[in-house]
Structure 1
Amino acid sequence: MAKSAYDVYLDNCLLPVTPEKIQISINNNNSTVNLINEGEINILKKAGLTDIEFEAEIPQVKHPYAVYKDGFQGAGYYFDIFERLKTGKKPFQFIVCRNTPANKKLLNTNMKVSLEDYTITEEAGNGFDFRVKFKLKQYREYGTKTINIKLTVSKPKASAEPQRETNNSPAPAAAQTYTVVSGDCLWNIAKRFYGSGSKYTVIYDANRGVVGGNPNLIYPGQVLTIPAA
């Protein structure tokens, strides 16, 4: 069987068999209301969280069409990873790398998600192999605000001060290094050091020898150079 046109990663785990289809639902939070004299109107709001569903084969025995990044592993190896992602209470990267038959790179998907549910199915027709259905949901970073209230005898005063995001650190004055941890991506690292995720190309260009040809694939333990501002 020919190599699949795309690879699917859950965190750093490459699925051994590419799903036959992936359903990505981009949701919205728009509201439709009925005004007395105007009829229905649509109130546009910020898009909701994206839902992702797919089903993948997880072999128990080695097949020639399966791909193993670090050598053959049985189904139990992958089940341990799935359970860790489900119960770890941490988001992780969902990555789809797409290539043409000529190995030309196409649009990739790189989204921080949570594993909402997964269902393991075992059927006699599949031999020793399993099928696992996944339900993922997009994860968005969020912060809290602190409110300082100052009271005087004559007149109460209140002021609200947004809590500063820890990711918006000032750009480094000199080059330094950063060790990748689980859940990192170049976008978030650039946001942390430069205040803007769009500057991830600065880090990528300085670390092509470490990262390789795909800026969407970085792994825990890699040491990256963070160029000066």
Structure 2
Amino acid sequence: MTVRQRPQFWLKFNNNAEVFWLPVNPRSLSATSTHGFTDIDVTQLGEYTVIGNNRLREYSFSSLFPRDYNPSFCEHPRLKDPWETVKMIERWQRSGKPVRFIVTNTPINLAVTIRSFTYEERGGEPGDIYYTLTLKEYVFVSFRKTSDTTAKSTSSAAKKAEKQRPNEKTTPKSYTIKSGDSLWKIAQKVYKNGDDWRKIYDANKSAIGPNPNALKVGTKLVIP
């Protein structure tokens, strides 16, 4: 009978530029695989189910980052500082890039996103970090490139249409301050860009006063 080896849990980031072997195996690994369904209630006919597409799988597990090596539960002695490990995983999570999740001796070897990462340091165990990690399968999407000729033709046609199209956008000439307004909000409403609030302030200093944040409800502003 073949004896199955203990699995190793790996996280790899940025094409193996950073590789992390979990020092303590989770007691369990939860995998969720769902399918999209939509239930529709049709008058006089009852409820029907529309079968959608497969959903991406989700994995969740809990373990700890130990401060000190203990051969009774640690998988290897090459331990990182627990808090440095926390910073590393949070950096990966904020990067906007997928991480490769591998569990050896299983079919799990796939790109994932870090959906949630919670951790705590418990009393009586200083330096050890207990954590829960939730990962979701990531699918790489590629787009077919159009030829340069097609792209240039499309771009040229779009520019021509833009020149011929009349400008339908209108900017109001005045605005009356309402409760809860700020110059940034007003600029966002009239210019679609809150950073243009300075234009409105410069044109209405006498009405607003020296403090651009002190707006009086009912004041009529000129919109340049």
TM-score range, shorter chain: 0.5 to 0.7
Judge conservation of contact 1:10–1:94 (CA < 8 Å) in 2: yes
Aligned position for 1:155: none
Judge conservation of contact 1:51–1:136 (CA < 8 Å) in 2: yes
- CA shift, 1:145, in A, is 6.8
Matches within 5 A, 1:40-55: 40-55=47-62
- CA shift, 1:78, in A, is 1.8
Judge conservation of contact 2:102–2:108 (CA < 8 Å) in 1: yes
List gaps (5 residues or longer) in structure 2.
13-18, 158-224
Aligned position for 1:158: none
Aligned position for 1:130: 129
- CA shift, 1:76, in A, is 3.1
Matches within 5 A, 1:75-86: 75-86=82-93
Output the CA distance in 2 between the equivalents of 1:72 and 1:25.
Answer: 30
What SS class does the counterpart of residue 126 from structure 1 fall into?
coil
Cα distance change on mapping 1:38 and 1:143 into 2, 3 Å: farther
What SS class does the counterpart of residue 86 from structure 1 fall into?
helix
List gaps (5 residues or longer) in structure 1.
99-106, 153-229
Output the CA distance in 2 between the equivalents of 1:130 and 1:82.
Answer: 13
- CA shift, 1:91, in A, is 0.5
1:119-143, Cα deviation, whole Å (9 max, x unpaired): 1111114343110111212111224
Judge conservation of contact 2:101–2:108 (CA < 8 Å) in 1: yes
Please tell me whether Structure 1 or Structure 2 has the larger radius of gyration of its CA atoms. Answer: 2
- The question of 1:60 aligning with 2:100 is answered no
Judge conservation of contact 2:67–2:79 (CA < 8 Å) in 1: no
Give the residue type in structure 1 aligned to 2:34: N
Cα distance change on mapping 1:139 and 1:94 into 2, 3 Å: same
Give the residue type in structure 1 aligned to 2:65: I
The alignment yields a C-alpha RMSD, in angstroms, of 2.9
Output the CA distance in 1 between the equivalents of 2:125 and 2:6.
Answer: 23
Output the CA distance in 2 between the equivalents of 1:144 and 1:115.
Answer: 24
Cα distance change on mapping 1:85 and 1:57 into 2, 3 Å: same
Percent identity between matched residues is 19
Aligned position for 1:139: 138
- CA shift, 1:4, in A, is 7.7
1:11-45, Cα deviation, whole Å (9 max, x unpaired): 13110000111111112221111223432222111
What SS class does the counterpart of residue 52 from structure 2 fall into?
coil
Aligned position for 1:111: 110
Judge conservation of contact 1:27–1:51 (CA < 8 Å) in 2: no
Q: Which has the higher helix share?
A: 2
* Residue-pair matches, total: 141
Judge conservation of contact 2:31–2:57 (CA < 8 Å) in 1: yes
- The question of 1:72 aligning with 2:71 is answered no
Aligned position for 2:8: 7
1:56-111, Cα deviation, whole Å (9 max, x unpaired): 11101121131237x3332134223212211221101111113xxxxxxxx32112
